[in-house]
Amino acid sequence: SAWIEVAGLRVLFDTGQGPAFAANARSLGVDPSHADMIVLSHGHFDHSGGLTLASACAPGAPVFAHPDSLGPRYAVRNGAAQAIGMPAEARAALEAHPAGVRWTSEAMQLADGVGVTGPVPRLTGYEDTGGPFFIDPEGAHPDPITDDLALWVRTDRGLVVIAGCCHAGLVNTLRQAMKLSGEPRLRAVLGGFHLGEAGEARLAETLCELRSLGPELIVPCHCTGAAAVQRLAGELGERVVPGFSGARFRFGADRGRA
């Protein structure tokens, strides 16, 4: 999860798996009750599990989420299915949230220079959802993870994109954010890129596109995969800064990483 402050707006982006949410917020000096809105990148448990606490902390902050975030989800490996959808307790909290839910079945602008991508068009031929994801435990019906979205912020030095897992593909996500924002300069991209199971062809194409798009800062987080992070850093150099809990970043004309 990420806490975003921009132009007086305070956004809680995702809520983590749940148990670490409150303790991490206290450690960082963040008061979730001050959130103006909660944005859910997708319905997997490790992004939505903290909704119970988030809803209780910020009952007046509307939640922005795609309707498909409530659906059944499974990861099926070697014939074994693991339920990875939104936990029942978090689902109940979302459905009963006092400020309500604003369903993001399309792109939305949250404030001047701040928006969410909504469903990301799958335009590249080499990107996929990043793993063996299904909507049934038998693994017969692939999950396209249509609820996957990212948040974008225009700054005076270019666009900052905050992603959850990029199940729609990192390149697809960046292109969609740049199109919606009208900002051709890419200041930074932060979040999970889901490249842990990516083959050589996808990694090579992704690196080629990142060189072309030219982000000043790339912050790969939890689901990117250690080997992929090493590859990104090896080929793109110091602009790649692995993310971690407690990292802080400030963006603007005279600001850099903190």
Give yes or no for residue 67 having a pLDDT over 60: yes
Q: What mean pLDDT is predicted for residues 84-106? A: 97
> Which residues neighbour 212 within 8 Å (Cβ) at sequence distance 6 or greater?
none
Structure tokens at 65: 């989420």
Residue 108 predicted with pLDDT over 70 = yes
Q: Give per-residue pLDDT as tens, 174-201.
A: 999 999 999 999 999 999 999 999 999 9
CA 133 – CA 137 distance, rounded (Å): 10
Residue range 64-91: mean pLDDT, rounded: 96
C-alpha angle 68-179-9 in degrees, rounded to nearest 5: 70
Of residues 218 and 19, more confidence is placed in: 218
Decide if pLDDT at 257 tops 90.
no
Compute the C-alpha angle 164/170/171, nearest 5°.
150
pLDDT number for residue 118? 96
User: What is the per-residue pLDDT across 27-43, written as a single tens digit (0 to 9) for each?
Assistant: 999 999 999 999 999 99
Query: What burial class does residue 237 get, using C-beta atoms within 10 Å of its C-beta: 0-12 exposed, 13-18 middle, 19+ buried?
Result: exposed
Average pLDDT over residues 69-73: 96
pLDDT in tens, 220-254: 998 999 999 999 999 999 999 999 999 999 997 54
Mean pLDDT for the chain overall: 95
This prediction has a pTM of 0.95
pLDDT score recorded for residue 253: 54
pLDDT of residue 21: 87
Of 133, 101, 105, which Cα lies nearest the Cα of 119? 105
Provide the pLDDT for residue 18.
Answer: 86
d(CA 82, CA 97): 27
Burial class (CB within 10 angstroms; exposed 0-12, middle 13-18, buried 19+) of 84? middle
pLDDT above 50 for 128: yes
pLDDT at 22 over 80: yes
Backbone torsions φ then ψ of 74, nearest 5 degrees: -140, 145
pLDDT band at 109 (very low <50, low <70, confident <90, very high): very high
Rounded-to-integer distance, Cα 188 and Cα 213, Å: 11
For range 70-74, the mean pLDDT: 96
Mean pLDDT value of segment 78-83? 95
